[in-house]
């Protein structure tokens, strides 16, 4: 067996997923917490050029992030060819809830997802989910996951590349060249972070630019960081990073759009400097990010800001790139559903933030997941007993 090391932080769900994959594949590995071990963190940066986790070394090979395709190439096995009653794509609040309801209806259920937890994992704290006065997104999703693991549900870590229908069965192909078949499908794959849209963005991703503050935040202890955005996620990240970093710069395109509770809390923090009506127009640095260029939107004047890290919190984009031409979507590339989670294609249902449902909240996504499962159950019974 190769020598495998996983460099991770405690709150990084992608790190946990990488370890879960290796555990499932029976791979022995050494786990190194670079959130607490500064020397190990520096070593990780030196060998990988990354200020983001996870970083996995397999002998002399370095894998950046939770690369499900690469891990499947190295340690995966071929999928079985049986037909599932329901295939759920995505394992956030909507997908995990749908899985529990499907399993309780005795449907053979498969989840395909790159991670467990979805967008909820980006939440440092959640204060509006019933039953919990306050809980982190990671902790809440762990509870969802635990409940799913108690059911007869199969979960494969992969990313869907395409879906098509063959007779009465839906055929799904993944980036790892696996093929799955199901009688019904539930889309619950949520959204991914929106790009800044500036030059050199790809170059600095993982090298000072991050889209996961809960994962990478501990690596910037005592440093100067910037947060881009003015909504709830941006303010929550600024508040949490103010406890980790030496100085936080909050870069807001126009004005703050966060809930009053977040604004009240943020206003009392002395190491946050706010740049209202500014946009990031450039990223600078050699191997790592060292600063950004800000432009004032009214006057057009620019200024340079020296930073060690930058966190983008400017919104989310639906994970629907593989659905073009398959089902109806709106102008925001969200899946269009009716009140009962039906899409334009019979046998395909959708729930959570990937849909055109207006409100994007964890509790709403979970409720929609339950509805989708019940509708899928009814569909499978009808198809099986015409």
| Residue-wise pLDDT tens digits, 339-353 | 999 999 999 999 999
List pLDDT tens digits, range 50-108: 888 999 999 999 999 888 778 888 887 655 568 999 999 999 999 999 999 999 999 99
Based on the fold, state whether residues 357 and 270 are members of the same structural domain: no
Based on the fold, state whether residues 226 and 281 are members of the same structural domain: yes
* 33 belongs to the catalytic site: no
The answer to whether the beta carbons of residues 188 and 351 sit under 8 Å apart is yes
13 Cβ partners below 8 Å, 6+ apart? 115, 116, 117, 121, 138, 141, 214, 215
pLDDT(32) > 80: yes
pTM of the model: 0.80
The CATH number covering residue 58 comes to 3.40.30.10
Radius of gyration from C-alpha coordinates of the chain: 21
pLDDT(184) > 60: yes
Domain that holds residue 16: 4-75
Query: How many separate domains does the chain show?
Result: 3
The 3-state DSSP class for residue 327 equals: coil
Q: Please give the residue that has the higher pLDDT: either 123 or 147.
A: 147
The CATH number covering residue 321 comes to 3.50.50.60
Mean pLDDT along residues 306-312? 96
**Percent of residues, the chain, with pLDDT higher than 70:** 98
Domain end call among 312, 343, 358: 312
The DSSP symbol for 78 reads P
**List of E strands, 153-268:** 153-157, 160-166, 169-174, 179-187, 191-193, 209-210, 224-228, 247-251
* 215 belongs to the catalytic site: yes
Q: Please give the residue that has the higher pLDDT: either 162 or 70.
A: 162
Q: Which of 12, 15, 102, 212 is catalytic?
A: 212
Q: What is the residue whose two structure tokens read 């509708």? A: 375
* 351 belongs to the catalytic site: no
Q: Which of 156, 216, 308, 353 is catalytic?
A: 216
Task: Give the dihedral sign, CA 117/359/363/84.
Answer: negative
Q: Please give the residue that has the higher pLDDT: either 17 or 368.
A: 368
Q: Both ends of the chain: CA-CA distance in Å? A: 51
Strand partners, 250: 227, 274
Cα separation, 65 vs 336, in Å, equals: 32
Q: Which of 138, 215, 308, 353 is catalytic?
A: 215
Based on the fold, state whether residues 223 and 291 are members of the same structural domain: yes
Cα separation, 50 vs 37, in Å, equals: 16
Cα separation, 170 vs 158, in Å, equals: 17
Cα separation, 357 vs 339, in Å, equals: 9
């Amino acid at each position: 067996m190769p020598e495998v090391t996983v460099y991770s932080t405690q709150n990084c769900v992608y790190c946990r997923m990488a370890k879960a994959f290796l555990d499932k594949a029976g791979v022995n590995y050494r786990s190194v917490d670079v959130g607490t071990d500064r020397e190990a963190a520096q070593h990780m940066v030196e060998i990988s050029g990354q200020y983001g986790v996870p970083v996995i070394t397999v002998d002399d090979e370095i894998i950046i992030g939770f690369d499900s395709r690469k891990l499947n190439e190295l340690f995966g096995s071929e999928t079985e060819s049986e037909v599932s009653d329901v295939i759920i794509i995505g394992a956030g609040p909507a997908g995990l809830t749908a899985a529990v309801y499907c399993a309780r209806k005795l449907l053979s259920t498969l989840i395909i997802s790159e991670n467990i937890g979805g967008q909820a994992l980006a939440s440092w704290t959640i204060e509006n989910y019933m039953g919990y006065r306050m809980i982190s997104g990671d902790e809440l999703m762990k509870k969802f996951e635990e409940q799913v693991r108690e059911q007869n549900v199969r979960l494969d870590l992969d990313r869907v590349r395409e879906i098509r229908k063959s007779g009465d069965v839906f055929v799904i192909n993944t980036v790892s060249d696996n093929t799955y078949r199901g009688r019904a499908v539930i889309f619950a794959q949520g959204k991914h972070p929106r790009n800044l849209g500036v030059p050199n963005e790809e170059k600095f991703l993982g090298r000072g630019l991050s889209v996961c503050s809960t994962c990478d935040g501990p690596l910037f202890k005592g440093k100067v960081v910037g947060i881009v955005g003015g909504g709830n996620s941006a303010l929550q990240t600024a508040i949490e990073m103010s406890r980790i970093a030496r100085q936080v710069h909050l870069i807001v395109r126009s004005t703050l759009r966060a809930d009053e509770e977040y604004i009240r809390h943020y206003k009392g923090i002395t190491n946050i400097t706010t740049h209202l009506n500014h946009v990031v127009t450039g990223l600078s640095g050699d191997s790592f990010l060292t600063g950004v260029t800000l432009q004032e939107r009214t006057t057009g004047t620019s200024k340079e800001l020296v930073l060690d890290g930058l966190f983008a919190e400017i919104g989310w984009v639906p994970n629907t790139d593989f659905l073009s031409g398959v089902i109806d979507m709106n102008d925001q590339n969200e899946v269009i559903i009716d009140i009962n989670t039906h899409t334009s294609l019979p046998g395909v249902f959708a729930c959570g933030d990937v849909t055109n449902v207006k409100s994007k909240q964890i509790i709403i996504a979970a409720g929609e997941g339950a509805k989708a499962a019940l509708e899928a159950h009814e569909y499978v019974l009808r198809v099986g007993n015409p």
